[in-house]
Amino acid sequence: MSETERIIQTEYSDHLQKSYIDYAMSVIIARAIPDVRDGLKPVQRRTLYDMYELGIRYDRPYRKCARIVGDTMGKYHPHGDSSIYDALVVLAQDFKKGLPLVDGHGNFGSIEGDGAAAMRYTEARLQKITQEAYLADLDKDVVDFMPNFDETEKEPVVLPVRIPNILVNGSEGIAVGMATNIPPHNLGEVLDGVEAFIKDPDINTEEMMEYIKGPDFPTGGIVVNQEDLKAIYSTGVGKIKIRGKVEVEKVKGGKELLVITEIPYTMIGAGIEKFLNDIKGLVEDKKTNDIVDISNQSSKEGIRIVIELKKGADTEKLKNLLYKKTKLEDTFGVNMLCVANGRPETLGLVPLIRHNVEFQYELATRKYTTLLGKEKEKQEVQEGLIKAVNVIDLIIEILRGSKNIKDAKACLTEGKTDDIKFKSEASKRDAAKLHFTEKQASAILEMRLYKLIGLEIDALEKEHEETLRKIAEYTDILNNRATMAKTILKDIRAFKKEYATERKTLLDNAEEIVIEEAPIEEMDVVFLMDRFGYAKVVDQTVYERNKEAADSENKIVFTCSNLDKICIFTTTGRMHTINVQAIPMGRFRDKGTPIDNLSNYDSSEETYVFIQAMKTLREKKLVFGTKSGLIKVVDGSEFDVTRKTIAATKLADDDEVVSVDYFNEEESIVIQTAKGMFLRLNESEIPNQKKNAVGVRGIKLGADDHVTDIYHLHAGENIVIERSGKNLELNRLKTAGRGTKGNKH
């Protein structure tokens, strides 16, 4: 190995762990979680900054979204155009954002889940508030800039946002191992909260909630657990219950309509269609008989979902049913996670405001430091020009006597007179006393003659006075925190006056809805399933009338309770359950429903070996037999579970269940293998085990042999099978011990 080569040995798991942590932090910081200062994710920040750079202002024409997306992707965000366009669309949707930051022109989607048109068709520009409160002062060194991905451009680390955007617009995002979900709030209330914090930095959550009362969703609705908000805002975590707004309208004929005019924020998009389907489901399942029709009359003016009721319907009861059984009442899971000081942190309401106010002070400090520097530069030049006007004749003499600009400048700044011709020694002596600064000398040399007009001189002096006033003002702001606070409050009040809107979401404390459903009367029904896997249940009297046809046309037939469950045991060792009530109860000639659609059972991947009702299973035992010759007995009560799918038995990798049937110690079973071996043994020899056991050996298999069938010989029953052209009566086989080879037939 040469001296330049070095092989570093490292533990693979350590390297993998470090790489994954780096990846996770990249997703958290650079993709999914917003910064607490501007409340924006990187893709949103870059898109807004690119629009600012392209000059797409609120008072200028719209520009194609494709241009914005392409420019953003090429300069700042190399992660694909769809992520940029999706972010741009959301920033323009007033039903998702409490304060839209982009003014969209064209089809930007709808509250009902319609997607936006392609970016080549839509146009956009910045909103006025985005320019004034999000992108202003970028030229005043208020935020740091960093190189873009290929170091050909500079982009802001954070935007100089002047309002707590993280609260006003909220945020949602899924990172690695963590997620954020911050609800939107009312702009006016949030700015009142900021003002309260600036006046009293020791304010607590309860006091802050006098100003910021709760979330304010763009879709309106009603928060029904107002009493929980204090705990949510203290910890930054919790659940907000939201209901849609329902109004009752009377129509001709004494009928009434339930009209939904506001929906929960969580219902935006496909949730509305699901809500309509859920209402249809309530009617189909006979949960209510009061609904005649339902129609979605929503438009650009707002949500309007109309439910037509029967005459005399109990509207209050029906409203409660909708709240309880549909997404008209839903939960918004709050997790106020954001990036603070470079690391993800879950913050309560007051800490979020504190971070924002600290950011406002930082912005103001940097802004007025920059402005003060510029005014001091102007002061220097102005004082030089005023001084020059007073000795203008001497300056003209210096300029006329100089061979070049270098000599003239040296005279003005350092009093060097050796290379300049003067009319008199007095002028030379006066010139030697001049000591203008470099900037003053440059300004004097560039000064035009019209500046010597009396009015121009007066304007210069007034401009100098204004400069001195600004210097005093900026110095006071920078040296006095109280003055800076007043300046910040002045801007905040101006934003509130121009952009604040009325609260849309109502805050209330409502009691938990309890629906008293009439108990379902228990009755016996008959479960039928044909050889194609179509299942149905029929009334017992219907079955009795068609018994012969039912038994001949269906593969599975048994009686069960309508409150029971159907258990399906499969070759893969799993058991799937179906509530009998979930199986359509139909007429005898109805086709039924595929059993795959009613449960987790998938006939394309596994085959059922036994189907029975849970109530019957509880009172009996089951015998399991597998392809590898293992057998066991399990108490049926072990399968009385609430889950829809469980492991009914433990299997080796290449094994599968061949048979499941009821156990009877007075009877026997016959095990048949692929190579024609038959073993009859008494069921009493099979041990009782738990469902998670693999079982014991039932038959000793030869090389490359496996069990194909297991027959249960019930009392008084003779099973005859065909072997090599002859009939083999299984009840004539002699019994043998468990674990033996059996006999060949």
Tokens for 478, please give them: 């920078």
Number of H helices, E strands in the chain: 22, 35
DSSP 224-253: SBGGGHHHHHHHSEEEEEEE-EEEEEE-GG
Residue 585: left if φ>0, alpha if ψ -120 to 50, beta else—which one?
beta
Tokens 């930054």 appear where?
236
Q: Which residues contact 133 (CB under 8 A, 6 or more apart)?
A: 161, 162, 163, 495, 499
Q: Smallest Cα–Cα separation from 404: which of 388, 422, 419, 423?
A: 419
Write the CA distances from 66 to 72, 125, 675, integer angstroms: 10, 12, 70
Q: Which residues contact 51 (CB under 8 A, 6 or more apart)?
A: 68, 102, 124, 125, 126
Q: Which alpha helices (DSSP H) does 538-609 contain, by range?
A: 540-545, 547-553, 595-598
Instruction: Give pairs for 447-450: CB < 8 Å, separation 24+.
Output: 447/385, 447/388
Q: Smallest Cα–Cα separation from 395: which of 339, 433, 356, 366?
A: 433
Residue 45: left if φ>0, alpha if ψ -120 to 50, beta else—which one?
alpha
Q: Which alpha helices (DSSP H) does 128-270 contain, by range?
A: 128-133, 165-168, 187-199, 205-208, 229-235
475 neighbors 372 (Cβ within 8 angstroms):
yes
321 neighbors 315 (Cβ within 8 angstroms):
no
323 neighbors 243 (Cβ within 8 angstroms):
yes
CA pseudo-torsion sign 557, 558, 564, 565 = negative
Tokens for 490, please give them: 């002045």
Q: Which residues contact 446 (CB under 8 A, 6 or more apart)?
A: none
Q: Smallest Cα–Cα separation from 177: which of 342, 15, 349, 337?
A: 337
Helix (H, G, I), strand (E, B) or coil at 632: strand
What's the rounded Cα separation, in Å, for the pair 505 and 524? 50
Catalytic site residue from 23, 76, 121, 474: 121
Q: Smallest Cα–Cα separation from 129: which of 182, 96, 165, 90?
A: 165
309 neighbors 257 (Cβ within 8 angstroms):
yes
What's the rounded Cα separation, in Å, for the pair 217 and 326? 20
Instruction: Give pairs for 78-81: CB < 8 Å, separation 24+.
Output: 78/149, 79/43, 81/119
**E strand or H helix at 296:** strand 291-296
Beta strands in 376-443 (DSSP E): none
Q: Smallest Cα–Cα separation from 93: which of 28, 53, 44?
A: 44
What's the rounded Cα separation, in Å, for the pair 23 and 543? 63
What's the rounded Cα separation, in Å, for the pair 367 and 371? 6
Tokens for 357, please give them: 């106010």
Q: Smallest Cα–Cα separation from 669: which of 714, 608, 716, 620?
A: 714
What's the rounded Cα separation, in Å, for the pair 332 and 181? 8
121 is catalytic: yes
**E strand or H helix at 635:** strand 630-635
Catalytic positions, written as ranges:
121
